[in-house]
Amino acid sequence: MKKDHSKESARKSETRKAVGIRPQDLEHFRKLLLDLRRRYAEKVDQLAEEAFTPDAGGVSASPSHLGDVGSDYYSQEVSLDLLENEREALQEINEALDRIDRGVYGMCEECGEPIARERLELLPYTRYCVACAKKLESGE
């Protein structure tokens, strides 16, 4: 008798999802992520305003001194870099909320194993367990 490997694989996948995080913990992480999303969205708005508003550390319509031109552009560049980083974090947070909705939150996207709760508490939008994150960062 032939085994149906696709059904077995699907069953293992569903089991792996179920092993993740308890429902009450998922709600805790959802609230944590929603709060982070709110704070990051506020920060993105603030940085965008600073980067693009004259005389607020952003673009200056008429610098008072030639040396200020370089300073103004440097400040704007720093603000834009920070803005991009915050937007990327906001995207990661939204994707983590999506993983909660799909029932795969807390599972490493690289190895499929559960991510340690301690890691999720520190970085709730992480996609990887510590071991896989280290491998990916080192380029292995």
The CATH homologous superfamily of the domain defined by 5-138: DksA, coiled-coil domain (1.20.120.910)
Q: Identify each DSSP E strand in 9-134 by its residue range.
A: none
Please name the residues in contact with 60: beta carbons below 8 A apart, sequence gap of 6 or more.
54, 68, 69, 72
Token pair recorded at residue 50:
């600073």
Number of Cβ atoms within 10 Å of the Cβ of 36: 18
Give the start-to-end residue ranges of the domains of the chain.
5-138
pLDDT of residue 70: 62
Residue pair 1/84 in contact (Cβ under 8 Å)? The answer is no
> pLDDT tens digits for 89-133?
999 999 999 999 999 999 999 999 999 999 999 999 999 999 999
